[in-house]
C-alpha cells in the first residue's frame, strides 16, 4: 500500500466513527450520525474538517486498546447560506461521545478560530459526559470550553443544538451560549440524572420529564427552540443564522426582497377589543407591522406573557419585545423579565435594533413573586433596556401602568422614539385603583359610595387614561393611528441607522443577577 492509499484508508477509518453496528443503533433511535448532522447543517460540499486523525492519549482502564481517529468529535468549518461558520459535532458512536482531553482540545481549537475570524460557532451536542477513565483531565477540558464560551459571548453568535444526552458538567457550555435548540424525545439536559435525584430527594422522574425538550421549553426556559427531529433542528439553525450578523462588528444580512401584504395596514386597527379589559393576541399586531412571515419567536413556550423574537422590516433584522395581553393580561413576572432581558442583551450585543410593543398593567403581585425576587429579576429587564445602545422604538398600544411602563423601554430609559395609539393609557395605575386611593375620603363620606367611586374613576380616566397628557410633556413623541405604525417604525429606524452611542468607560456593569 503506497502512502496515498494509506491516507485514503485512514480517512475511511475516521469517517466510520464507532463502526457500522453503532451507526445502525444511532439510526434506530431516529438520530443522525455526527457527520450526517454536519452535512445537513452546512451548504453542500463546504465542510472542511480539522483534526480528523486526533486520538486520545489515555492508557488506563484499557483505553490504550480503544483508540478511534477523531476521538468522538468532528470539528471544522464550512458555509451556511454562503457565510462562514465553525462547527463541532459530538459522535455518540465513539465511546458514547464522551469528552476527553483531546476531544476538548479539538473543540477549543475551532472555538479559538471562530473568535479570531469573527464567525458564528455551532455546537452539536450528543455526549455521555466526561470520560470517567481520564478523571480530572477530562473535567479540565470542560473548563477550557466554558472559559472560551464566556470570552466569545457577545463577540460571535454561539448556538447549541442538543441532539442526545447532555448531562453533568456538559450542560454548562450550552447554557453559556446564546441559544439552545433541543430535539423532542431524543435529547435531554440535566445536572444530575434521575437515579441521583431518586437517591437524594426520593423523587421518581424520567429523563424526559426531568430534562427533556418540553420540560426545558416550558418550565426552566433553558431550551429556546424545540424541533421534532434532527433535520428540523438543523433547518432551524440555518434559518436563525440569517437573522444574525457574523460578529459584533457587523450587521445582520439583508435579503434582497421582502413581502408585505398591504391589507394589514387596515387590519391592525381592528385587533384591539373595544373593552380595554379584554385580551387580544399581540402577535396579530406584530404581524401587521413586520414583513410577511418573518417572525421567529424565541422561547415560544416559556413565559407566554411576553413575546420576544427576530423579525424583519423591509428586509432588515429587528428584535421584537412585546407584552402579551392574551396571557396573564401581559403582566411582567419573574420569568417574563428574565426572558425579555436575555433577548434584549443579545440584540444589543449584535447590533440588532429593538421594536417594543407595550401593553402592560404592571408587575405580577403576590408572595410567591416577591419571595422569589421579582424586584431583582424585574431589574434585569430594566437594566438590559437601559444599557442597550442599538436603535430602540416603543409603540404603546393600550395599558402602560406604573413601574412596568418605565421598564418596557420608556423614553426615560433610553428609547429613541416612543409612539402611542389613541387607545393607550399611560398612568401610575388603572383608573379604578387610582380613584380608590386619591378620592378615598370623598367616596367614604358619599351617600352612595358606588356611584361616587364610578364618578371619580371616570374623572381620573378622562385625565390620565389617554396618551395626551404624556404627549404634552414630551414623554410620548407622537400619538399615531394604528394603521400608521409600520410607516412610522420604518421612518424611525431609517433615521436611526447611524445612531452612535457609547456607555461610560468601565470594565463592565453589575447587572442584578
Active site positions, annotated: 168-169, 403-404
Calpha distance 376→334 (Å, rounded)? 9
With H, G, I as helix, E, B as strand and everything else as coil, classify residue 351: coil
> If you write DSSP's letter for every residue of 40-97 in order, what string do you get?
HHSPTT--EEE-TT------GGGGGG---TTTTEEEEEEEETTEEEEEEEE-TTTGGG
Calpha distance 371→495 (Å, rounded)? 44
With H, G, I as helix, E, B as strand and everything else as coil, classify residue 325: coil
Q: Name the β-bridge partners of 128.
A: none
Calpha distance 259→278 (Å, rounded)? 32
Asked if residues 303 and 339 have their Cβ atoms less than 8 Å apart, the reply is yes
Calpha distance 287→311 (Å, rounded)? 9
DSSP secondary structure code for residue 205 in this structure:
-
Written as nine digits, the cell of 361 is 398593567
Asked if residues 91 and 74 have their Cβ atoms less than 8 Å apart, the reply is yes
Calpha distance 174→182 (Å, rounded)? 11
Calpha distance 284→395 (Å, rounded)? 14
DSSP secondary structure code for residue 269 in this structure:
G
Written as nine digits, the cell of 88 is 463541532
Amino acid at each position: 500500500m503506497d502512502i496515498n492509499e494509506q491516507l485514503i484508508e485512514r480517512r475511511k477509518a475516521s469517517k466510520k466513527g464507532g463502526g457500522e453496528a453503532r451507526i445502525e443503533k444511532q439510526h434506530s433511535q431516529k438520530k443522525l450520525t455526527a457527520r450526517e448532522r454536519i452535512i445537513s447543517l452546512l451548504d453542500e460540499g463546504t465542510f472542511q474538517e480539522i483534526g480528523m486523525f486526533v486520538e486520545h492519549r489515555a492508557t488506563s482502564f484499557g483505553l490504550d486498546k480503544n483508540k478511534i481517529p477523531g476521538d468522538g468529535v468532528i470539528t471544522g468549518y464550512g458555509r451556511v447560506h454562503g457565510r462562514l461558520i465553525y462547527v463541532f459535532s459530538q459522535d455518540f458512536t465513539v465511546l458514547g461521545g464522551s469528552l476527553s482531553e483531546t476531544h476538548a482540545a479539538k473543540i477549543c481549537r475551532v472555538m479559538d478560530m471562530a473568535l479570531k475570524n469573527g464567525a458564528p460557532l455551532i455546537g452539536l451536542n450528543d455526549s455521555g459526559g466526561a470520560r470517567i477513565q481520564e478523571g480530572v483531565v477530562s473535567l479540565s477540558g470542560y473548563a477550557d470550553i466554558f472559559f472560551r464560551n464566556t470570552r466569545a459571548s457577545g463577540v460571535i453568535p454561539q448556538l447549541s443544538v442538543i441532539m442526545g444526552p447532555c448531562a453533568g458538567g456538559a450542560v454548562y457550555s450550552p447554557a453559556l451560549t446564546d441559544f439552545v435548540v433541543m430535539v423532542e424525545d431524543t435529547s435531554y439536559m440535566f445536572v444530575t440524572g434521575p437515579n441521583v435525584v431518586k437517591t437524594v430527594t426520593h423523587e421518581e422522574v424520567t429523563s424526559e420529564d426531568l430534562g427533556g425538550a418540553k420540560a426545558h421549553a416550558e418550565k426552566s426556559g433553558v431550551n429556546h427552540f424545540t424541533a421534532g427531529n434532527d433535520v428540523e433542528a438543523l433547518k432551524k439553525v440555518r434559518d436563525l443564522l440569517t437573522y444574525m450578523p457574523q460578529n459584533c462588528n457587523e450587521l445582520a444580512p439583508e435579503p434582497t426582497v421582502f413581502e408585505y401584504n398591504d391589507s394589514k395596514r387596515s387590519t391592525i386597527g381592528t385587533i384591539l377589543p373595544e373593552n380595554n379589559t379584554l385580551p387580544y393576541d399581540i402577535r396579530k399586531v406584530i404581524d401587521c407591522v413586520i414583513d410577511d412571515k418573518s417572525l421567529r419567536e424565541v422561547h415560544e413556550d416559556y413565559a407566554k406573557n411576553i413575546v420576544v423574537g427576530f423579525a424583519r422590516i423591509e428586509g432588515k433584522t429587528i428584535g421584537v419585545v412585546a407584552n402579551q395581553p392574551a396571557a396573564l393580561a401581559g403582566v411582567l413576572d419573574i420569568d417574563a423579565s428574565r426572558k425579555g432581558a436575555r433577548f434584549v442583551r443579545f440584540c444589543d450585543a449584535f447590533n440588532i435594533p429593538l421594536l417594543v410593543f407595550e401593553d402592560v398593567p404592571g408587575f405580577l403581585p403576590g408572595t410567591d413573586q416577591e419571595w422569589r425576587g421579582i424586584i431583582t429579576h424585574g431589574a434585569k429587564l430594566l437594566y438590559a433596556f437601559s444599557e442597550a445602545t442599538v436603535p430602540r422604538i416603543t409603540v404603546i398600544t393600550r395599558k402602560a401602568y406604573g413601574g412596568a411602563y418605565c421598564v418596557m423601554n420608556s423614553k426615560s430609559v433610553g428609547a429613541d422614539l416612543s409612539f402611542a395609539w389613541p387607545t393607550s393609557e399611560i398612568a401610575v395605575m388603572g383608573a379604578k385603583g387610582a380613584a380608590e386611593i386619591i378620592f378615598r375620603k370623598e367616596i367614604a363620606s358619599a351617600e352612595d359610595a358606588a356611584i361616587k367611586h364610578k364618578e371619580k374613576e371616570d374623572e381620573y380616566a378622562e385625565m390620565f387614561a389617554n396618551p395626551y397628557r404624556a404627549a404634552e410633556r414630551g414623554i410620548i413623541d407622537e400619538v399615531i393611528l394604528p394603521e400608521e405604525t409600520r410607516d412610522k417604525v420604518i421612518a424611525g429606524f431609517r433615521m436611526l441607522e447611524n445612531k452612535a452611542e457609547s456607555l461610560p468607560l468601565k470594565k463592565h456593569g453589575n447587572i442584578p443577577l
